[in-house]
Structure formats: structure tokens, C-alpha cells
Amino acid sequence: MLSDKEVLIRSTIHYYCLHGFNRMMANTALEGIRVFPSDHKFRLYYGISLLLEARYQEAIRELDNIQEDQNLVLASLLALIHAHKACKSLDREEISKLEGKLRDQRKQAKEVALYFAGLYLLFVGRFDKSREYLDRMLKLNNNLREASNVLGWLELLSGGDKSTSQAAQFFDKGVKLNDPEAILGKSKCLERSGSYWRAIEQLNQMIVLQPSFIPAFIEKMKLQVALKDWEQAIDTAGRILTLDRHCIEAHRYLIIYDLVWEGNEASASSRFDDLISSLEIREPKNGTLLYETGKLISRLAFNKKRIIEQTYSMVEKATFLEPNRIEYVLELGHQCLIINRLVDAKRHFTTVTRADEANLAAALGVLHCAIIEDPVKAADQVEAMEELHKSTGMNHDLMYLCCLWNRKMGRNHDQTNQYLIQIIDDRLYSLKSFSLGLKYYLRLDPQFCLNVVQLCFGDLPFEPGVKGQSLPANLSKAKDLLGVLISNCPGLTGSLYNMARVNYFTGDLRAALCYLDKAVDHEPTFIDGHF
């Protein structure tokens, strides 16, 4: 029978691993080793965390020590093979030896060994292989308590709507026992089905039982954001920070609130300093987390140079940690574009094209710089790129650049408007699969949306229309997009201003003035609004 402390530590380890917090997983595993020194599964967890942090030699040393534990032998061998193959200098003889041992152990493996092997494969995203091991486990014993949670996560992470209901059935077994991880899983199933309040009720049940279990608070905060209950979300973030003042998720959501809900650059910049400090302490080697965080916040900063400089430094550190990740270098280029550092942007995009000549995103980045610098000189490049990709399908970035170039050249033809309408329709449709949160805001990309809206206005005269007159199709679509922006980013001055312009063109001057008042309230120095 597992103790409450053991279950809590295990649940926390699994949570941090599945959410990509590798160093926090390591630290929690070390706590498990300290509290339960004779339980080798915590050494397995620690070895896996070292592997996920690319500390391969340390991982090999740790995992070597638990090879003889029959319950952990399959998982440790799988992880050791992974670690050896990831090393700069391959020890082919050792890899061959480990693979032979793995084959032998698979033939005689018991249910617990199969469970830990399936768990490890789930952690590293090899879902099909994980299912293979877990199916074998179920044939030997379908009543292993810990297995229900792993099977639930496997269904939830690898499947669709049907898998969500199957996952819920697995988690229900642990919910009856007040298992923290099962309750987290069940709340995630309820979230997937849109039952946010029921999901919060599940988490509240856990918080009453385990008031120091931070993952439950984090997931509750996210659900409150999905409900747009920012007041409660901020309160929950505050409670999280009293438990752990370096909680990365709490800091990230507070920054998003400042940027998109309040439009408070000074507060966001101050909180960003706290976030950077927390990342240094909690996840100092996590390039993926640095990159994703820097990318997200840069898209919500709306050209605020001070914030972009901070996100740029964050992605720059990610590039230093993982220099072979070309998407990080691409992101540096994009952030330079946002604040009009064209020379630096072009340098980053060119670096990527040298490493990968076929990289379309980098080629489009170079083209974007060229259009801004001299649209006349860029004409041949734009037309060639458009012609090349018309038959194979144009992505939104290329459509946008074609529209941008056409506007800069004074061209206002139907193809431009069709591109703009398609970009907006696709963007709005794709958002339907996300609840409000980090992934939603990254997909929304408010900065890009505002750029598209600006192109929709084209060369329309800045004068009021006749009240009630219909809008051109592309401007009507822009109005729909602005509605989404205002609903989910009410602190974004640009969306309020542009919605005022839309109403101005339809002759609804009262509505236009109302939006302008809101824009100026958010940003008193907003010159266009006063004009």
C-alpha cells in the first residue's frame, strides 16, 4: 500500500514530466530519494529527468545503478539505450549489449516491469510503443493501481474525443481513492469536453485534501482563465506563489494578464524580471521552455520594445543551450522584425537558409525584410515565390507577404482581398479547437492579426460612411477578427482603435467614439486615438 506522501511525490513528478518541467521533475525525484531511500523508482525518475535535460553521462550513471531491480529493468534499459544513442561519441558495443539484454528481459518481464517501461515510453512521447508494453501488462494483471493513470494519460495524449471518454474511465478508478494524479487527469478530461466548472470542482476536492499540491492550483488557474474569470485566476496565481514564489506557470499567466487584459506594460515588464529569475532557479537548462515563453510573450507585447528585448534575450539563451534548433534562430529573426531591426532579422534568417536551403520560413523572413526595405526591388522575388507555391498551396505567411507587397505598391486587386479573407477565416476556424490559455494566445498571435487587419483597410479614405452601409467583404472579416481580439485581448489598444475605424466607415460614429474612448483610457498617450 502506497503512503499518501509517496503518492503525492509520484503525482508531482509525473505532472512536471508531462508538462516539460525537467529540472523540477529532477528536484522532486531527489526529494523522493531522500524520503524513500530504498525505493528505486525515484532513482529511475531522476535518471529519466537527467536524460530529458540532455545530461546524458549523468543519466547513464544513475540508470546503471538500478539495472538489477527487476521491476525497473525494462525502463532503465530503454532509457540507457536512449541516452547512449544521444551521446556525441557512440559506444556501439555497449548499445548492442544493452539491446540484447532488453530482448532477453522482455521475454520474462512481469507486470510491474512492463508498467514502468510503458510509463517511460509515455514520458518520451513514444505512445505506440508505450501502448504495446501496457497491453502486455494488462494481460498479466489488469488491476495494478498505478497503471490506470498511465493508461488514462496515454489515451488523453494520443487520441481524440472517444479517447477522452476512455481516459476518464481509467482516471475514475483513482478518483475513488482520492489519487492526486487521477483527479488531475479527470479534470483534464472534463476540460477537454468543455465542462470547466466540473473540472474545477474536481480540483477543489484535491486542494481540500492536499492544500500544498501545487499542480492542482496550476490547473485550476488555467481553467479560470478558460472561463475568462481573470479575477479568480489572479487570486489563484497569488496562492500558488505563496506556496512557491518561483512557480513559472503563475508568473507566465500574470504577465499575459498584464499585457492582454490590462495593457499594463510597466507591470508586465516587472513581472518578466520575476519570470526570468524563476526560470534561472527552476529550469536553467530548459531551452524549449525559454523558446516557447519568449515566442508567446513577444506576440502579445504589441511592438513594446522593452518587452521584446526581454523576450529576445530569452530566446537567445535557448539558442545558446540548443544551437542546432533552427526554429530558435528563426524566432530571433521574427522578433527583430517586430521591432524593425531589419539588419539583425535578415542576419538570423540568412543563418537558417545557409543551414537549410529548403527552409521556407527563413526564405519568407528574408523576403519580408526585402519588402520593407524596398518593395520595388523585391517585386521579382515576391512574384516568383507566389508563382512557385500557388500550385502546391500557399501558407498564411506567404499570403500575408503578397498582400503587404501589393499594398506597398498601391495595388488593391481581388487576389489580395481573397488572401486576406482566407487568412482570417482559417485563423478563426483554428481557434475553435483551443480553450483560452497559452496555446490559444500563441495560435491567435494578436500582433499578426492586427497586421492583417491593417491590410484589410487598404487605401480606403479616412472619412465617415453613411450609417448602415455595408462593409466590403474583407473589412467585414476584419471586423469579425477584431471582435475576437477585443473579447480575448481587451487591453490591446490597436484592436479598439481599428474597431473604431470600422464603425467610422459604416457611419456609426457613436460606436466609433465609444471604442476610441476605451483605447485612450487604456493608453492615454495614444496619438492616433486622440486624432
* pLDDT for the residue 414: 83
Other C-beta atoms lying within 10 Å of the C-beta of residue 323: 11
Q: Which amino acid is located at 218 in the chain? A: I
Q: Is residue 29, in this structure, part of any structural domain at all?
A: yes
| Residue 211 cell numbers, joined | 492544500
Q: Does one domain contain both 95 and 189?
A: no
Residue 467 lies in a domain: yes
Closest CA to 112 of 135, 132, 139, 141: 141
- pLDDT of res. 525: 66
Same domain? 133 vs 4: yes
Interatomic CA distance for residues 282 and 276, integer angstroms: 10
Same domain, 222 and 125: no
Domain housing 461? 433-531
Q: In terms of domains, do 115 and 198 share one? A: no
Same domain, 213 and 179: yes
Cell readout for 268 is 508586465
pLDDT at 1: 47
One domain for residues 501 and 453: yes
Domain annotation covers residue 261: no
Question: What pLDDT does 196 receive?
Answer: 97
Q: Which residues contact 107 (CB under 8 A, 6 or more apart)?
A: none
The confidence score (pLDDT) of residue 399 equals 96
Low-confidence ranges of the chain (pLDDT < 70): 1-3, 160-162, 412, 459, 461-465, 468, 524-531
Does residue 82 lie in a domain region? yes
- What pLDDT is recorded for position 281? 97
- For residues 137 and 33, membership in a common domain is answered with yes
Cell numbers 517511460: residue: 120
Q: What is the rounded distance in angstroms from the CA atom of residue 60 to the CA atom of residue 122? A: 20
Quote the pLDDT of residue 512: 86
| Domain match, 138 and 14 both | yes
Query: What is the pTM (predicted TM-score) of this model?
Result: 0.94
Q: CATH number of the domain that 173 lies in?
A: 1.25.40.10
Which residues contact residue 11 at a Cβ distance below 8 angstroms, ignoring those fewer than 6 apart?
Answer: 179, 180, 181, 184, 213, 215
Residue 252 to residue 380: CA distance in whole angstroms: 43
Q: Which of 243, 263, 288 is the last residue before a domain boundary?
A: 243
Question: What does the block give as the cell for 497?
Answer: 482603435
119 vs 10: CA distance, rounded Å: 12
Domain for residue 204, yes or no?
yes
**Grid-cell match 507577404, residue found:** 401
Q: Please tell me whether residues 25 and 98 are part of one structural domain.
A: yes
**Structurally, how many domains does the chain consist of?**
3
Determine the straight-line distance between the first and last CA of the chain, rounded to whole angstroms. 71
Please report the pLDDT score of residue 210 as a whole number.
Answer: 93
